[in-house]
Structure 1
Amino acid sequence: MVRLLRSLILGAALCLGTGLACFAQGADSVLEKLLSGGADTEDFAPAFLSTISIDQVQGVIGQVRDLIGAPLIVEASDDGSFYVETMTHRASGTIKLDDQGRVLSLWFAAPEPIPQDMDTALSQLNGLSDQVSWLVMRDGQVLSSKDADTPMAVASAFKLGVLSVLAQDIKAGTRKWADVVTLEARHKSLPTGQLQTLPDGSPVTLHTAAALMISISDNTATDLLIDVLGRDRIAMALGLDSILTTREFFALKLNETAQAEYLLAAPEDRPALAAKAGQSLPQSSTVPPYVPGLEWTVPLSRLCALIMPLADLPVMQINPGLAEPHNWARVAYKGGSEPGVANFTTALLDDVGREVCVAVTFNGKDPINMLGAAAAYRGVLAVLR
């Protein structure tokens, strides 16, 4: 699964440099030029262009410009942060210039539509993929929903079901966060994650595995926890007959023969076929587009029901997703994505103590426009705060 980051980094080379400090003088005009369509080679330091071409830079900045429109306000601060406002959006990020006023590093957070009203904000979600569902709840009351009870592919958001079962065991006293389990070769999956780099036999606490699973969507940590907790209980939490491990998911997605056999099999025969495919781990992590029937399909109503009781757990608050933590008393997040699939699920506590859940799923035959999807989602959050 492709890790969904809290802020979208626009190309690896757009985050060059180790520091964020820059001179504000000149940054405003540089940003205004870039966002007005005037990005030229001389605007960027040679170190910046050593890992990314000017055509790629112009393409990335063009995506931002096409989404937010022409800048009306451009403000850069001494610490390198900047703020941009257009007729329809607010955008922020960081920029660093060299002593000649050329860009050394540039990073944009996902733009946020300027809030108008809930209906307008939600309308921005439509058209971003073939299927879109959403659910907005406050204190248990549905403010708006579309196909919220329809199972759709949610990618790594299924990991909420894994954490839910673990949290139940810890509450019951049958497990402790400090319990140590052993990482074995059969648990190792493809990235995202870090645990797959540890030696076989490494001891891992349940807390470490859960924190990595939620905060960076660690696939190996997920499969380790699935093995420890049991598939049947996790499937039940998610409302599924059975679940794939992430290792099995990759094995089936990257092996057309095994995939075809799995999809044609009766539901009761699929777990054995998935386990067989997962005996060997593919070398490539380039995941093909979404294949219906080969995913974790969960309705948004269940995702909100899962995340709300988990929201107070510290492991849920490491990565706030697309919400700005300073706008909320508490933020808990888990999302997921693969080509053709994206999900954002956030549990929030507002300043007057109201519990909020905002969940959106996109499914389609084509890759999701993640910049547009993230911006539209942030627009819904902006209306609620």
Structure 2
Amino acid sequence: MIESAPTATAQLDWIVSASTRSPLPDQEIRDHLASGLLDASSGADGFNAALMRIGRLVVGEIVAARPDFVQAAVHGDTGNYLVTVRTNTAGLIEEVRLTTDVPPPASWAEIDTQLARLGRRVSFAAAEIEPDDHCRIVHGLNPDTLRPIGSAFKLYVLGALARAVAEGRVGWDERLAIRDDWKSLPSGTMQNRPAGATASLAEYAELMISISDNTATDHLIHQLGRDAVERQLRLFGHRQPDTNTPFLTTKAFFQLKGNSDTTCAQRYLALSPHDRVAALEQLEYRPLPDLQETWPEPKHIDQIEWFAAPTDICHAFAGLAQFDQPEIGHALSQKDEGLNLDTRQFPTVWYKGGSEPGVVTLHYLARTTDDRTLATSLMVSDPHTTLDTLSVTLAGQSVIRGAFHLLAHAR
């Protein structure tokens, strides 16, 4: 007798049960999670850590369900949530999203109060992208202040690719072969593919954005050229593009921050910008560090990172939208990280975030049914203390959800 694949509801039941038993054995987690989600969670250890942060869960009400999708209200030790679970054709969990199940802030004053709770180093902007692609900031907190942005830098790589397509230098269907020397560490799955295997540039872009695939990102940077990405910062109107010069690949980033030689980063920072280019090329040639997990505390987040202000991110979204290439919207709309805006009011939502110890950033574009384009950008960082990524993300999404509703009703 052939057993049917587990339904999303059955997998939700497993997650609830698992929340009372964590940490779970590695094999049990692998029996329930699809490989993409496992990699995005930083492996079984990362999934266990997330379960332990959330605490015990109890299902309150099933909001919507079908075989491959379930959404339910759950109560937990750390709060009330709306949880969404999606499964693949094999019944494995390919997506789990948590959203704080509380009313979003209903005024800009309430948003400011919630932002103040996130820490001292917070930048935020809520904007409307006007027909001339100008970002009109409706409300902000330090909206022009430069912050580390983590993987949100991949918006600029996507922009450089879109420009190369627009200029006829490459095509979205063009195939690019995997190279071992261009592979990076997770997040992502492309590092697991054999050298010589090919994928279209559209697939590289989708993986770079949707699951923040670092190997896909580095292949695009090498293929397009570091100078093309640095040029895109300026073309998108970044106010301080030189803070990202020379532009880091993720492999160089891991070499600098995950290297067993703790003086590596200090030697790099002592170099002139010109000499740093050669240093990065040497780092990118070396084998990847044996990094079992990320560093536990913030490391040089104000010196070795990618940097932008919320207004810069809004300009990047505006620039990406201006290309009017379907592949861009496809890549950016695959996941919303649990924002759960009402699709009847916001039929299109783009998302890219970024994080490392001490850094959490969330960036969204949403189009309304009356054809307005809105954008929000939230950046939180602390150079001395590791942030609770889940808590900051849930609190930040509450702010962002409220901001989009306020923007939609503002004129």
TM-score normalised by the chain length of structure 2: 0.72
Query: Which residue pairs with 1:367 in the alignment?
Result: 386
Matching residue within 16, 19, 26 for 2:7: 19
Query: Which residue pairs with 1:247 in the alignment?
Result: 251
Query: Which residue pairs with 1:379 in the alignment?
Result: 398
RMSD (Å) for aligned C-alpha atoms: 3.6
Query: Which residue pairs with 1:7 in the alignment?
Result: none
Query: Which residue pairs with 1:305 in the alignment?
Result: 315
Query: Which residue pairs with 1:114 in the alignment?
Result: 103
Q: In 2, distance between residues paired with 1:40 and 1:186?
A: 42
Contact map agreement 1:180 1:205 (CA 8 A) in 2 = yes
Contact map agreement 1:345 1:359 (CA 8 A) in 2 = yes
Query: Which residue pairs with 1:333 in the alignment?
Result: 351
Question: Which amino acid in the other structure matches residue 249 of structure 2?
Answer: T
Matching residue within 286, 290, 293 for 1:283: 290
Aligned residues: 336
SS at 1:110 equivalent: strand
Query: Which residue pairs with 1:68 in the alignment?
Result: none
Q: Does 1:180 align with 2:167?
A: no
Shift of 1:334: 0.9
Matching residue within 128, 138, 151 for 2:118: 128
Q: In 1, distance between residues paired with 2:51 and 2:174?
A: 50
Q: For residues 51-103 of structure 1, give each alpha carbon's deviation from its aligned partner in whole angstroms, at most 9, with x where no partner exists.
A: 79xx9899534498xxxxxx9x94235846422589xx8621269xxxxxxxx
Q: In 1, distance between residues paired with 2:56 and 2:115?
A: 17
Contact map agreement 1:75 1:82 (CA 8 A) in 2 = yes
Contact map agreement 1:191 1:219 (CA 8 A) in 2 = yes
In structure 1, list runs of 5 or more residues that go unmatched: 1-16, 65-70, 96-106
Contact map agreement 2:20 2:56 (CA 8 A) in 1 = no
In structure 2, list runs of 5 or more residues that go unmatched: 30-43, 86-95, 130-134, 234-240, 406-411
Q: Which has the larger radius of gyration?
A: 1
Query: Which residue pairs with 2:277 in the alignment?
Result: 271
Label 1:112 to 1:298 Cα distance change in 2 as closer, same or farther (>3 A).
farther
Query: Which residue pairs with 2:267 in the alignment?
Result: 261
SS at 1:234 equivalent: helix
Q: In 2, distance between residues paired with 1:112 and 1:83?
A: 7
Q: In 1, distance between residues paired with 2:50 and 2:125?
A: 36
Q: For residues 161-201 of structure 1, give each alpha carbon's deviation from its aligned partner in whole angstroms, at most 9, with x where no partner exists.
A: 11101111212222210112222122100011111111112
Identity rate, percent? 27
Shift of 1:356: 0.6
Shift of 1:285: 4.7
Question: Which amino acid in the other structure matches residue 103 of structure 2?
Answer: I
Question: Which amino acid in the other structure matches residue 310 of structure 1?
Answer: L
Contact map agreement 2:60 2:72 (CA 8 A) in 1 = yes
Label 1:92 to 1:175 Cα distance change in 2 as closer, same or farther (>3 A).
same
